[in-house]
Structure 1
């Protein structure tokens, strides 16, 4: 008997082969174990239970195989194992394409009739692979099988980019907050993963069938999408996740036949050697606890049931908050929190329901902020059409700044706000009580609260408070980097296997988040005299300590930092509408909103022949009691919008400089009459010099054609540009 194992990133696969009775090894036993970041424990369990010490040989492949030492034949390349496994599969054709989708990557192996083998794998980033699929499904409250079933049953899909896992998560969260169905989002994501994998296949594909292997081959929605995109004949191997472990066992059998191997020990510990640490140890953040000041909650004696108030809703990507703000004093009367769960409309209704359970508030206006503000505002305007002018919508920057100035005894004289949320992070600079500068994380949610939460779940910690409690205990937090959450997670897995405790890893994650913020959100800016730390992740002390440790500055955490957006938008509404008007106004009957539900939501493009913007317009049908109301929203002009007074639109008749420039550029689409044609891509820096470039080339004798992008260019560029760190403009340039 010989054995083989594949110690992968998320699962460990084990195979036992009988090589005594025939020349062809026979599969005797196999097992697949999800190891939750500790593959060596899974190895120990299997080794002891199956009495592997009695086997003639043992070989290992996979990410963690090099942690096993002789007499284990360890560190076998994955391509060598796949090639060896092919020898055992006599029923497979000579000419074959093998596509593998695993937790940390995807690869393609080809074998032609002469036995020549080709092998290519994706870039070092693990985005768009098995581990990422699990995390994105979990973001929507789904297990992997549930997400697969939903996607498989969806009739249509929402296009998603899977080139970067963080971008994909941000994109899907954004679409979810717009009300896009989860099944369509998951279908779109699986299609994107399939598209990336098929693009890799296209680089080396030979004639012959395609066989899928790896854990991803068990996902029906991925297989379906891959078949449609790749074309040709596509099969799935039996037990597809075991193929590399099977190949390792075949190589063990070959080695056994050729050499007399040392006997395997009874104790698996003799086969395991931990890797040497490569991580720089950072100081425990708790050493800077004295640099953090927590503001206490003010005494509030007002009764929310009889106090005229504004209901502020901050509908974020991961969490949603509601705060009742007194119109007279501006104090918080009560607040509630709930998960957004990818649907801000449902989240807003749950928040209203919870407030009504606590009290019967006298609400004179409703104010909304956060990424889901427009979707929820659309429904509320349908429920309260006659009160639409008292439904205020503003962005989070203004809301957070307003709340911070209220908490600052110097009223924003020189104040910097560090706001870290679930999906984004913001830097707001305030001077003299006014916002002077602000910025957000660029395009993705790397280094935000959702990343910390996902990593906690990966290490089987499902309570954020427990994550914070453990992070506070960090004594040797490793430097896990700050470039990208995918790389940070990879580094953490390596650090964990080197012996760093869960507490130290969690402390390291928090250092990564703060370093990411300082270098990528704040950039080269400097802090003001005071630093306010806001957002739900600021509720626990350890992240605030880490901010103080990295900056070396005093950090102020306001009372209830996670509710600052909801409170701030309430204060904005009071300032916008005026106290007198609100005191004289009628009360919102929030119970009416609880009976509202979105019946349908479709999107169309404005077809105004006099306008070339072709804006996307949302048409939402809301059932309010027995009646159904249609709400149209969106667009650059007020033609369709039911707008609040806080969301002033540009007049339709106003000059459009961009439109005028594009009209002028139409004269340069083609030029010249020469025999040789030159294509000028309308991308990057050439955008500003197109007239000059076209004129110059045509004057020296070329025929010039301007190459423009379209709605499919980004997807086309992703199939052509395989560099993991290429930006969207670079990919579009490849497509053009």
Structure 2
């Protein structure tokens, strides 16, 4: 009887099947999305094929394919080998494979018949098909429209490619400034390509020829982005690009008889035994705990009323974040008079003006503003805009508010829209802190994204429904894109919506504790601050997960602004400042103009936003990576720039040698490079002089810039701190200059002058 061989590639999104005969002739190719049921879809396809091809043998590959193979006690071929086998067969000239699927990405480097090196993506969806699918859905585009539109872009903007949630914020901002849709989608494609280069390639050589495989390779915008990001003249996209894994498995089954004889009855028996019986977390509210008494009576709000008899001295705090802009007004005793919690929506100036307008209409005639402070990501620009007296970081502001509310507090959990913070206090003093990295999995936006997918109101229904759960799902720590797929899978397997919502509350807690707190000490007096603390399901999840009571302080949504108002109060009092720099509530009536330009002061080429307020001579600037356009620094130009003075001293001896070199001095030895990193910032004069005196031609790397940073990020294979990545970039920079010998000593011991 004639035999037939099929390769089944079960991925996170779809099931792909390639069927060949004994002569390797392609007979069937099938691509079908499984929507969380890969085994069911594989069974359906094989049942159809077995009627037409009765003597059918299969070999499984792919992430879902491995689970299917295990349940059937069938052989399995790893994805890397499957991709490599099919590529070698049909494209023997290919040395490098870029493979991108629904939830995973791979780099495979071939050396003849073997795999020389490979790299896989982490638990982040940035750089996968699901990331692009979600962004296309947000833009109300089919993935086909997304692909075609991206080719029309002339100047793709830079968009965050590290996280889907952060990408959403960038997209909102670009839409608000009327960026064409084709530029936005092209920017997303380039973001994915850059992320692949930085987080997966990581400095590995890309040998030509290069093949782009997987479902994402059908996106022409991604093909363009990869060619430009990697500087490729040619990028091969196989005709059966989405089926290369399945093709490799089919060939392996044929050539080595590593396969399983299709048994439909056995598959149906396994299917019938499958059910959703996963043991989840504990319910958010236990029968005997006092959570309901402590947290379900509404959040405390502490405010004082103003009289019309006399004006009261007050202090204004402004917290400008990526998602929300918060304003708080306090009196001399620190009591809250009024507050505003507003959406920033990519327009910090408009948000602040709206807050000032509303507060001014409420209390302007009954108060005298004695001090103003700003904090948050937009603190410097808004400080100049409103006339603030002091600027501080968010950590200090949050800690100040918490310590004022309760001097005994020792731990602060602060979770906002796109960032989260951990602060450890001892006697009111910050002793440790941490913030989330380029991942929004432990933030409020993460919850909001998932609630939208489940058609649940984050404000009204989420907590109420989650509290009904008796078996919260164990969703673990997952990227927001992968979590969406995980939710759909669990729903399709029979999970109840309330169990999923409670599971999401636990998930944000797990992400926060494991990724932000990361083993740091958690005290006994814990404050939960930020807008996410409104979600009582998350409060309950924290208590159950930690086994400790959590306090949600009054006005927890604006504690950053309250803390900044307290700091402003103490600042003006301690310095005896009689009149605040505050420009007044009437600032809202003054017109302003906003435009932008590209700074060419260094290789970073920052886009600088320039604000001109009616009646003021000076411009306000924001958006740069340095303080070149910081208007506050210009006001203090009578103070010597000690950093510049130190820099001049560090380079003086080296520059003298360079001058001798230009005047004809010829070093007798070859060139040697010094990367301008770490201790060379202190000991450059010593090492440079030593090497020049020894007869070397000394080359020092340039000051850190975007190019050097990118070189470092793309070079480091392990996850290291930022300075180490930059150091690798400096070494790569010197190598680009043709420097073959690089001087990078390690200090074992260092004697000081007094030793």
Structure-2-length-normalised TM-score = 0.70
The RMSD of aligned alpha carbons is 5.8
Deviation of 1:513 after TM superposition, in Å, equals: 3.2
**Per the alignment, do residues 147 and 441 of structure 1 end up closer, same or farther by CA in structure 2, a change over 3 Å counting?**
farther
State the partner residue of 2:233. 232
Q: Deviation string for 1:448-469 (max 9, x for gaps)? A: 3147427736974664355545
Distance 1:144 1:274 in 2: 34
State the partner residue of 2:301. 297
Distance 1:584 1:455 in 2: 40
State the partner residue of 2:41. 43
What does 1:10-409 correspond to in 2, within 5 Å? 11-15=13-17, 17=19, 19=21, 24-27=25-28, 29-33=30-34, 35=35, 38-40=36-38, 43=41, 46-47=44-45, 56=54, 57=56, 58-69=58-69, 75-83=76-84, 85-86=86-87, 98-108=97-107, 116=113, 118=115, 120-127=117-124, 128-130=126-128, 133-134=131-132, 137=135, 145=143, 153-157=152-156, 165=163, 187=186, 190-195=189-194, 197=196, 200=201, 203=204, 208=209, 210-228=210-228, 229-238=230-239, 240-249=241-250, 261-265=261-265, 268=268, 270=270, 286=285, 290=290, 293-294=294-295, 296-298=300-302, 313-321=318-326, 330-333=335-338, 335-338=340-343, 340-345=344-349, 347-348=351-352, 362=364, 368-374=374-380, 381=385, 388-389=386-387, 394-405=392-403, 407-408=405-406
Deviation of 1:558 after TM superposition, in Å, equals: 1.7
Deviation of 1:665 after TM superposition, in Å, equals: 1.8
Deviation of 1:441 after TM superposition, in Å, equals: 1.4
**Per the alignment, do residues 61 and 462 of structure 1 end up closer, same or farther by CA in structure 2, a change over 3 Å counting?**
farther
Structure 1 residues without counterparts, runs of 5 or longer? 382-387, 608-612
State the partner residue of 1:563. 558
State whether residues 600 and 606 of structure 2, in contact with CA within 8 Å, keep that contact through their aligned partners in structure 1: yes
State the partner residue of 2:500. 502
Instruction: Choose from 604, 610, 635 the match for 2:599.
Output: 604
State the partner residue of 1:535. 530
Structure 2 residues without counterparts, runs of 5 or longer? 658-665, 732-755
Deviation of 1:534 after TM superposition, in Å, equals: 0.5
Q: Partner of 1:122: helix, strand, or coil?
A: strand
What does 1:414-433 correspond to in 2, within 5 Å? 416-428=411-423
The range that moved more, 100-109 or 181-190, is 181-190
Distance 1:282 1:491 in 2: 20
State whether residues 397 and 438 of structure 1, in contact with CA within 8 Å, keep that contact through their aligned partners in structure 2: no
Q: Deviation string for 1:414-450 (max 9, x for gaps)? A: 5543322233333446677x65556341654566314
**Per the alignment, do residues 66 and 601 of structure 1 end up closer, same or farther by CA in structure 2, a change over 3 Å counting?**
same
State whether residues 594 and 609 of structure 2, in contact with CA within 8 Å, keep that contact through their aligned partners in structure 1: no
Distance 2:516 2:627 in 1: 39
**Per the alignment, do residues 148 and 192 of structure 1 end up closer, same or farther by CA in structure 2, a change over 3 Å counting?**
same
The range that moved more, 146-155 or 544-553, is 146-155
State the partner residue of 1:681. 675
**Per the alignment, do residues 259 and 269 of structure 1 end up closer, same or farther by CA in structure 2, a change over 3 Å counting?**
closer
Distance 1:47 1:493 in 2: 25
Distance 1:111 1:614 in 2: 35
State whether residues 473 and 503 of structure 1, in contact with CA within 8 Å, keep that contact through their aligned partners in structure 2: no
State the partner residue of 2:752. none
Distance 2:538 2:169 in 1: 26
State the partner residue of 1:659. 644
**2:702 corresponds to 1:714:** no
State the partner residue of 1:610. none
Distance 1:347 1:585 in 2: 17
Deviation of 1:371 after TM superposition, in Å, equals: 1.7
Distance 1:149 1:693 in 2: 55
**Per the alignment, do residues 585 and 659 of structure 1 end up closer, same or farther by CA in structure 2, a change over 3 Å counting?**
closer
Deviation of 1:45 after TM superposition, in Å, equals: 8.3
State whether residues 529 and 552 of structure 2, in contact with CA within 8 Å, keep that contact through their aligned partners in structure 1: yes
Q: Deviation string for 1:512-546 (max 9, x for gaps)? A: 234236744xx75674x733220112112233334
State whether residues 7 and 62 of structure 1, in contact with CA within 8 Å, keep that contact through their aligned partners in structure 2: yes
Distance 2:373 2:420 in 1: 21
**Per the alignment, do residues 245 and 193 of structure 1 end up closer, same or farther by CA in structure 2, a change over 3 Å counting?**
same
**2:10 corresponds to 1:7:** yes
**Per the alignment, do residues 561 and 178 of structure 1 end up closer, same or farther by CA in structure 2, a change over 3 Å counting?**
farther
